[in-house]
Structure 1
Amino acid sequence: MAQPDEAATRMHEPPLTGAVEDDFGDLYEHAPFGYLSTLTDGTIVRANATFLTMAGRTRADLVGRVRFPALLPVGDRIFYDTHFAPLLAMQGEVREIAVELRRPDGTRLPVLVNAVVKPAAEGRPAVIRLSAVAAADRRRYERELLRERQRAERSEAEARHLAQILQASFVPAALPAVPGLDVAGVYRPAGSGDEVGGDFYDLFETAHGWGMSLGDVCGKGARAAVVTSLARYTLRAAGIRDARPAEVLSLLNQALLRERTDRFLTAAYARIHHDGAGRPRLKLSLGGHPPPVRISREHPSGAVGRPGDLLGVFDDPKLRETEVELSPGDVLLFYTDGITEGRGADGVMFGEERLRRSLEAARGADAQGVAEHLVDEVVDFQSGLPIDDIAVLVLRVPD
């Protein structure tokens, strides 16, 4: 029994008769979605006015005469028979299945279909109750999203292809043969390789012997690529004209300053020549670049060369030269900082000690084998996705 205060409250409530729609027949017929019932074989036994409008048909066209799958195009009909109906039989319901309704005028209406099974009871057969929500706007949106995604994927693929072509111009297609030396170079882009990096190397013949360069421009992308191209070809032109490595780097520094670029770079340049006994020797200069590493039986192993200033920063950078002797079995590695600064999963860098151990482990291989062994180790150390570009140039004196 209601308490007096509850009774009083109810007496003052506004009458709900007429405020709430109670014509369930009208609600069924004109619901904001199509509603139909079928037998388990798909034969339509009931459909509301909304569904008839969506399908462009009359009740007499459908009820008792047509199976629901017959309203679908061939592909959706096959999907209904092979997936929709078996899932419905196993689970008793399916949700948000995207199909199309074929209309008599040849047009198609995308819809999302939900279905549940009402089990047989009291002598009545089992019935499948389905609802269909028009999804034309959603389908157009999804198709537009798909087109935009495909367009973006094509653009990305084109950008990656252009990056690969441009990057390939920063290293020789093949290194020339140098008497008395086995030489090899390897370049590995950062990440998936879809952005142009700033690493480069080169080896070319001059009137004074052979010129060799390797460098790393700050940053990535198109602006870094412009500076990388300028650096490589300036070094080649200057190396052909001048035999002094420090002067070659100085000319590159002047070119960078003239261009007023905001990118600096590091570079190593060496002139390879042979002494009176025909043994290879290098005169080396470093412009802010990591010194090359030598593995040798006759000479102390480790870094060689004297440090110099970054290029593209100072008007008069300090650049020094070092004479390097090479003996049979020696390996001399030039590399960019993508080697030593590669980070493993724990954040630890690959470092110079791992670099030396890798060279020692591969010293019996030819120059190509040494280069590939080192780069593979660095890439594996970073779980296959290096955070920076990697460039190496290996000189090896045959035994």
Structure 2
Amino acid sequence: MTSTREGRVAGPARRDEAGQGRSDRPESAESLDLAGELLDGLAEAMLTVDGDGLVGTANAATRRLLPEVGPGTDLATCAVPALATATAAGHPQFEGEHRGRRLRGVRRALPAGRWVWYVRDVTEEWAGSQALLAERRRTAFLADAGRRLGLALHRDQALRAAATLPVPYLADLALVVHLPPVPAEQRPHWVRYAEGQPGPVAGESDWSLTAALPGLAEALDGGCPAPGPWSVAAQQDLDPVFAADLDREATLLVSPMPGAGRTVGALVLLRHPGRTGFDPRDVELAREFAARAGAALTMAELYDEQAHLARVLQNSLLPPELPRVAGMEVAGGYRAAGDSLRIGGDFYDLLPSEGGVLFALGDVCGKGVGAAVLTGRVRQSLQTLRLVEQQPLKLLRLLDRALLDMPDAARRSQFTTLLLGSLSQDPEGGLRVRVAGGGHPAPLVVDPDGTVTRVPVGGMPVGALPEARFTEVDLRLPPGAVLFTHTDGVTEARGGPHGAEMFGERRLHQALASGAGLPPSALVERVLRMVDEWSAGQRHDDVAMLAVTPRKPD
């Protein structure tokens, strides 16, 4: 029996008359022995305390966990800080470190103003909970980093995100070194961010940086150098990559940023001397973040390249600025549907011809970049074919044959509807108009009195069928009248009170009639504005229109 208890009684054993062994101690002493054995069997320490704060009973676990505490110890001044503080303040529980172990105690009241402390070792439990919390923090960091990196569409955005996100969670300072696609032609680009900076700092450096920064050359080659101490003072050629007030001593971790088939850069993390170095879990997390940052940077570079190509394509495919033509006023209007690039499948063009001009307004099947490519083919073909043929119907047939003969015509299954017409001055001050139709909405004539007349031009889509038939009509446009042509994106624009009703022919005629007498530019702008208001800016199809009227004599 090892417990220390108040009032222990000991006595020799004796035999009864029958010769059986029995204790000659009182039954209360035997009960105390049994209670002591039970208390010593507890895994947690137990201390009874009297009204003066002095320890009375302490079991065996107490001597293991709290050797400084025993019978008669004043807990308010004992050598266990957390227990002493809780006792002095009257707190019902405590938790703290003692002799390298994590202890947690709870106080319970006993009769006669006494109370008892139950203290247990929670080191492993606490370590497990801390490991779980740390893992949750790592997971949350990677989730947030992945989301923010995914929003970086451009190279500079991705570099700034890669430099700012690790601070301060992973490091006190982060440096991202971007490896250019053609190292022989470009210098490395870097972005640095440190805790307390108002924002990231960027610049370019020569290739001496890779030799001055330990592990950088290895990381740019795809290697993973181990973390280690680093002295800034011992390095050269680091200005202005690192700030002048940077701590001279630091812990350095360099990780490669893998991309598509190549290493796109390296992530450099620094921790100041007051912070612990990188443990294996920190290194693993940094490598994972660097990999995600490399993927985001790769996608941003691809996006930038595609955006550049799209801008070049856009500049070549946007409807042209219409030239000034003698004897007539011409205006065009264009909107691309639901695309960040202002290109689509609707187009118009004005081409010089003998004695006047040719005009074209069409709608290629499809939307976006794919339709814009075919639009470019149609416009280029018209530019070439009009040198050998300027009669609208014959020119339309040549264009149809050219589109059908394209090598990928069968694969793309694309075609275009088209109005192709010629405009020339009339001796009486009007315009002679000849229009060939290829399955396109009919042109409209708006008279000065507001009458809107549909010009019946039918025909079949161009480039769709080998035996397609096309039609042609002639008309005279008197002074003050306007020839208005449009794509079906105008009449099929959906909107209105419920957002699903089409703009329709009736509203288009009303818009044109109410704008009678306006010059072509004002009439086109009026219709575009009304369609935009109808669809509330949510266009689902491209819109193009072309208007022409005889020019009034000066």
Q: CA deviation at 1:23?
A: 3.6
Aligned length: 305
Question: Conserved in 2, the CA contact under 8 Å of 1:164 and 1:196?
Answer: no
Q: Which residue of the partner structure matches residue 91 of structure 1? A: none
Q: CA deviation at 1:273?
A: 1.1
Give the distance between the partners of 1:247 and 1:350, measured in 2 at CA: 34
Q: Which residue of the partner structure matches residue 257 of structure 1? A: 404
Q: Which residue of the partner structure matches residue 487 of structure 2? A: 336
Q: CA deviation at 1:32?
A: 4.5
Aligned mate of 2:381, from 219, 231, 234 = 234
Q: Which residue of the partner structure matches residue 175 of structure 1? A: 322
CA 1:238–1:78: 2 relative to 1, 3 Å: closer
CA 1:196–1:106: 2 relative to 1, 3 Å: same
CA 1:155–1:397: 2 relative to 1, 3 Å: farther
Q: CA deviation at 1:298?
A: 6.6
Question: Conserved in 2, the CA contact under 8 Å of 1:292 and 1:304?
Answer: yes
Q: Which residue of the partner structure matches residue 81 of structure 2? A: none
Give the distance between the partners of 1:316 and 1:247, measured in 2 at CA: 14
Q: CA deviation at 1:137?
A: 4.8
Q: CA deviation at 1:169?
A: 2.4
Q: Which residue of the partner structure matches residue 131 of structure 2? A: 33
Question: Conserved in 1, the CA contact under 8 Å of 2:450 and 2:512?
Answer: no
Structure 2 residue identity aligned to 1:384: G
Give the distance between the partners of 1:155 and 1:172, measured in 2 at CA: 27
Give the distance between the partners of 1:175 and 1:106, measured in 2 at CA: 65
Give yes or no for the alignment of 1:378 onto 2:531: yes
Structure 1: tracts of 5 or more residues without a match: 1-15, 36-68, 80-101, 111-133
Q: CA deviation at 1:107?
A: 4.1
CA 1:167–1:377: 2 relative to 1, 3 Å: farther
Q: Which residue of the partner structure matches residue 420 of structure 2? A: 269
Q: Which residue of the partner structure matches residue 106 of structure 1? A: 251
CA 1:327–1:144: 2 relative to 1, 3 Å: farther
Aligned mate of 2:446, from 283, 289, 295 = 295
Q: CA deviation at 1:161?
A: 4.5
Structure 2 counterpart SS, 1:241? coil
Please provide the CA RMSD for this pair.
Answer: 3.8
5 Å-filtered alignment, 1:204-215, equals 204-215=351-362
Q: Which residue of the partner structure matches residue 92 of structure 1? A: none
Question: Conserved in 2, the CA contact under 8 Å of 1:180 and 1:397?
Answer: yes
Alpha-carbon deviations, 1:34-61, whole Å to 9, x = none? 99xxxxxxxxxxxxxxxxxxxxxxxxxx
Question: Conserved in 1, the CA contact under 8 Å of 2:335 and 2:342?
Answer: no
Q: CA deviation at 1:308?
A: 0.7
Give yes or no for the alignment of 1:360 onto 2:507: no
> Which one is further off, 345-354 or 206-215?
345-354
Q: CA deviation at 1:303?
A: 1.9
Give the distance between the partners of 1:264 and 1:200, measured in 2 at CA: 13
Q: CA deviation at 1:177?
A: 1.4
TM normalised by structure 1 equals 0.65
> Which one is further off, 345-354 or 207-216?
345-354
Q: Which residue of the partner structure matches residue 396 of structure 1? A: 549
Question: Conserved in 2, the CA contact under 8 Å of 1:285 and 1:305?
Answer: no
CA 1:72–1:156: 2 relative to 1, 3 Å: closer
Q: CA deviation at 1:218?
A: 0.9
Structure 2 residue identity aligned to 1:302: T
Give the distance between the partners of 2:333 and 2:442, measured in 1 at CA: 18
Give yes or no for the alignment of 1:323 onto 2:470: no
5 Å-filtered alignment, 1:300-319, equals 300-319=451-470
Give the distance between the partners of 1:257 and 1:301, measured in 2 at CA: 36
Calculate percent identity across the aligned residue pairs.
31
CA 1:311–1:208: 2 relative to 1, 3 Å: same
Give the distance between the partners of 1:313 and 1:384, measured in 2 at CA: 32
Q: CA deviation at 1:304?
A: 1.2
Give the distance between the partners of 1:137 and 1:361, measured in 2 at CA: 70
Give the distance between the partners of 2:358 and 2:311, measured in 1 at CA: 25
Q: CA deviation at 1:230?
A: 2.1
Give the distance between the partners of 2:346 and 2:299, measured in 1 at CA: 27
CA 1:78–1:239: 2 relative to 1, 3 Å: closer
Alpha-carbon deviations, 1:158-214, whole Å to 9, x = none? 434433432342355321112221111122211133385222211021124211111
Give yes or no for the alignment of 1:194 onto 2:341: yes
Structure 1 residue identity aligned to 2:353: T
CA 1:226–1:215: 2 relative to 1, 3 Å: same
Give the distance between the partners of 1:368 and 1:147, measured in 2 at CA: 50
Structure 2 counterpart SS, 1:259? coil
Q: Which residue of the partner structure matches residue 150 of structure 2? A: none
Larger Rg, first or second structure (1 or 2): 2
Give the distance between the partners of 1:138 and 1:349, measured in 2 at CA: 54
Question: Conserved in 2, the CA contact under 8 Å of 1:335 and 1:392?
Answer: yes
Alpha-carbon deviations, 1:290-322, whole Å to 9, x = none? 111221137952321321111112223221111
Give the distance between the partners of 1:359 and 1:272, measured in 2 at CA: 21
Structure 1 residue identity aligned to 2:504: G
Q: CA deviation at 1:238?
A: 2.8
CA 1:254–1:147: 2 relative to 1, 3 Å: same
Structure 2 residue identity aligned to 1:351: G
Alpha-carbon deviations, 1:86-138, whole Å to 9, x = none? xxxxxxxxxxxxxxxx998524899xxxxxxxxxxxxxxxxxxxxxxx66655
5 Å-filtered alignment, 1:16-27, equals 23-27=121-125
Give the distance between the partners of 2:466 and 2:384, measured in 1 at CA: 20
CA 1:153–1:30: 2 relative to 1, 3 Å: closer
TM normalised by structure 2 equals 0.48
Q: Which residue of the partner structure matches residue 365 of structure 2? A: 218
Q: CA deviation at 1:17?
A: 8.4
Give the distance between the partners of 1:258 and 1:78, measured in 2 at CA: 62
Alpha-carbon deviations, 1:365-396, whole Å to 9, x = none? 43222222222322332222311222111113
Give the distance between the partners of 2:285 and 2:525, measured in 1 at CA: 51
Question: Conserved in 1, the CA contact under 8 Å of 2:430 and 2:550?
Answer: no
